[in-house]
Amino acid sequence: MNATKTWQGEAFWGLGYDFDPQWLLTPKQQKLQADLIELCASVLRPHAIDSDRNLVYPRRNFEALASLNLLGLFVPEAWGGLGENHVCAAMVVETIARYGCPSTAMCYTMHLGATAAALFRAHENPELQSLLQRLDSEVLIGSLSYSDPETGSHFWYPVSSKAEQVGDGWNVSKKASWTTSAGFADWYIVQTTSPEFDGNYSDLSCFLIYGDEVKAEPHKWDALGLRGNQSGTLHVDGVTVPLERMVGMKGDGVASNDEIVDPFFLLCSSACWNGIAMGAIDLAKQHVTRKKHIDVGMRVADYPTIQDYFGEAIIDTNTCRSFTFSMGKLMDDLTNHCDWSIHADLSALPRSAYLHWYWQIKFAAAKNVAHVGDKMLHACGGSGFKKDMEIERYLRDGKAGWVMGPTNEVLRQFVGKLALLGIESLDYWNQTVNERVLHNELKKLDSEAKRQLAVQLLQEAEAEMQSVPKPLAVSTV
């Protein structure tokens, strides 16, 4: 284990390794972490300030990350990547957010999610294989474009999208309301309804779309935090791409979401929120141990109230970190340390069985970061309110956690509903009839209103039978 954490060759000014779960990392991962902390000190952190003040996209930070081969973090070694695992991905994202730049950490989270989606279905796809082998050498940044303007944080429901086969290609249309790195990424994994869509929104497909095939509006991006993240709109305006640009099979979208996009996004974004919380604690420690009150002869750190703030913030954040790394370890155990060859069997979906656990880590980490940011600001007093201390930037960046889809409102309801009512009750695609609500509402109608409703329903049923068949409700709760 590294004994001393360094920062530009000197002892680090925040919390040392004694408050980090180093026992989870291999010696190789610990060396990578130490190198990355130094890169954060010299390159990423100065750029973070510029990104925040001037809304600058952190491409320079990605160039620095590529110098450590981090864009291909879990690309197999045979393809020129580092061949690393899920625990390592969580460590790298947390490290970037904590010591370097939270905006970069979130763009990198989306890059890892897109990379994982590509690796999942790269086995017989030369286009994906070629891309994955050039990530670091050409600094090819990826992102995930899912969220739809019409369905808000229900990002699994892309109503403003379609895809159809035209000759030897797919014609892809997609309107996304939010896409991290929009207009700056070199490639995107985009989710649409499947070709030959018949009204069933659970029939989804994924496509690889390159940067020169999208329209973005970065000039409209201006936000409270993660200001370098540039999560703007993205428009794929009826672009025709070759057949091999479909990622996986037609209709593979749900498998890809449950096995890859959600697990990787939830793991890495949780690590990002944990890193921001630790970053705020580091900054606050530096301040409270230096600032003195001459009248009472004490430093701010000498007040028990301040010590309590730090004790609670460290305990809560390390609870979230342990929970997050535990999910990384689970995914490593399930996949033989992120061995992509298991997915040569297209039905292998080991990560997806634990989705409800990944929901929990994101909820906990996003809730914690906002609280810790607040408390570290309180601990620093008025000094923390000023920009030069950087606490206020970490506070603003951390606020993105709660509202980023799946939002914390959605997550806690998913977990509670699943525990109480079972998986069908989640009804992602609005297909399950809630008979209890339906009958309760019907009870409120008088006989004339019931008759009118019956006539209207019969007319609708008649019209539907004469048009394209609509999917039936799958079950009832």
Tell the smallest beta-carbon distance from residue 470 to ligand FAD (Å).
Answer: 22
Which lies closer to ligand FAD via its Cβ, residue 105 or residue 288? 105
Tell the smallest beta-carbon distance from residue 375 to ligand FAD (Å).
Answer: 23
What contacts 158, CB < 8 A, 6 or more positions away?
Answer: 146, 148, 151, 174, 191, 192, 193, 201, 204
Tell the smallest beta-carbon distance from residue 399 to ligand FAD (Å).
Answer: 9
Which lies closer to ligand FAD via its Cβ, residue 83 or residue 279? 279
Measured between alpha carbons, how far is 204 from 197 in angstroms, rounded to an integer? 9
Which lies closer to ligand FAD via its Cβ, residue 310 or residue 394? 394
Tell the smallest beta-carbon distance from residue 405 to ligand FAD (Å).
Answer: 3
Which lies closer to ligand FAD via its Cβ, residue 266 or residue 404? 404
Assigned token pair, 434:
């809630």
Tell the smallest beta-carbon distance from residue 273 to ligand FAD (Å).
Answer: 12
Which lies closer to ligand FAD via its Cβ, residue 161 or residue 229? 229
Which residues of the chain form contacts with ligand FAD (CB under 6 A)? Answer: 110, 143-147, 152-153, 155, 176, 178-180, 226, 229, 231, 400, 403-405, 407, 409-410, 413
Which lies closer to ligand FAD via its Cβ, residue 175 or residue 287? 175
Taking alpha carbons only, the member of 389, 398, 359 closest to residue 275 is 398
Tell the smallest beta-carbon distance from residue 414 to ligand FAD (Å).
Answer: 9
Tell the smallest beta-carbon distance from residue 98 to ligand FAD (Å).
Answer: 18
Which lies closer to ligand FAD via its Cβ, residue 403 or residue 461? 403
Would you put residue 454 in left (φ > 0), alpha (ψ -120 to 50) or beta?
Answer: alpha
Which lies closer to ligand FAD via its Cβ, residue 80 or residue 405? 405
Tell the smallest beta-carbon distance from residue 193 to ligand FAD (Å).
Answer: 15
Assigned token pair, 306:
């301040």
Taking alpha carbons only, the member of 273, 359, 331, 406 closest to residue 120 is 331
Cis peptide before 406 (omega within 30 of 0): yes
Tell the smallest beta-carbon distance from residue 153 to ligand FAD (Å).
Answer: 3
Q: Do the bridges between strand 6-7 and strand 10-11 make them parallel or antiparallel, or are there none, so unpaired?
A: antiparallel
Which lies closer to ligand FAD via its Cβ, residue 64 or residue 226? 226
- Tell me the backbone φ, ψ of residue 143, rounded to 5 degrees: -155, 170
| Residue whose tokens read 């004339």 | 448
- The CA–CA distances, whole Å, from 400 to 147, 185, 387, 435 equal 15, 20, 19, 36
Given CA atoms 336, 338, 342, 345 in this order, what sign does their dihedral have? positive
- The CA–CA distances, whole Å, from 30 to 4, 20, 189, 377 equal 12, 11, 31, 30
- Tell me the backbone φ, ψ of residue 162, rounded to 5 degrees: -165, 160
Separation of CA 222 from chain center = 20
Which lies closer to ligand FAD via its Cβ, residue 341 or residue 413? 413
Nearest residue relative to ligand FAD (C-beta): 152
Tell me how crowded residue 12 is: count the other CB atoms within 10 A of its CB.
Answer: 17
Longest dimension (CA), the chain: 86
Tell the smallest beta-carbon distance from residue 225 to ligand FAD (Å).
Answer: 8
Radius of gyration of the chain (CA): 24
